[in-house]
């Protein structure tokens, strides 16, 4: 069963389309056999985006086990040559995320 997509992810998807940026792969699985996923990925460019939700409400990314899992995931990505851009939902809403992404894709 697929996980529910966050407000931040859905908003960034709309911004990407509105800016006519190259279409990403959503929920891209990398580093098999691990089940690590990126929220958005451009595999041919080794570029990924993660929208970090729940940062003010004690979400998964801020609790011990979730934080440690994210460290392992991002280190695995870095060792494989990926650039991973991380944004909060507030950064997506304000346009910072799509502006940064446009620069990364240029």
* Residue pLDDT, tens place only, 18-61: 999 999 999 999 998 888 999 999 999 999 999 987 654 555 55
Tell me what pLDDT residue 93 has: 96
Q: Across all residues in the chain, what is the average pLDDT?
A: 89
Contact 49, 101 (CB under 8 A): yes
Look at residue 66 in the predicted model and tell me its pLDDT: 76
Residue 1 — pLDDT band, cuts 50, 70, 90?
A: very low
3-state class (DSSP) for residue 83: strand
Name beta bridge partners: 50. 86
Domain boundaries, the chain: 25-45+70-83
Cα separation, 40 vs 87, in Å, equals: 12
DSSP category for residue 55: T
Summarised one tens digit per residue, pLDDT across range 52-85 is: 876 545 555 565 677 899 999 999 999 999 999 9
For residue 83, the model assigns a pLDDT of 98
Please name the residues in contact with 90: beta carbons below 8 A apart, sequence gap of 6 or more: none
């Amino acid at each position: 069963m697929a996980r529910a997509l966050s407000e931040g992810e859905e908003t960034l998807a709309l911004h990407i389309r509105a800016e006519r940026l190259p279409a990403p792969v959503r929920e891209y699985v990398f580093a098999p056999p691990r089940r690590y996923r990126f929220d958005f990925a451009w595999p041919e460019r080794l570029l990924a985006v993660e929208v970090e939700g729940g940062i003010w409400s004690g979400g998964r990314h801020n609790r011990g086990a979730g934080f440690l899992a994210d460290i392992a995931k991002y280190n695995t990505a870095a060792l494989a040559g990926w650039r991973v851009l991380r944004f909060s939902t507030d950064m997506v809403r304000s346009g910072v995320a799509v502006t940064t992404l446009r620069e990364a894709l240029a």
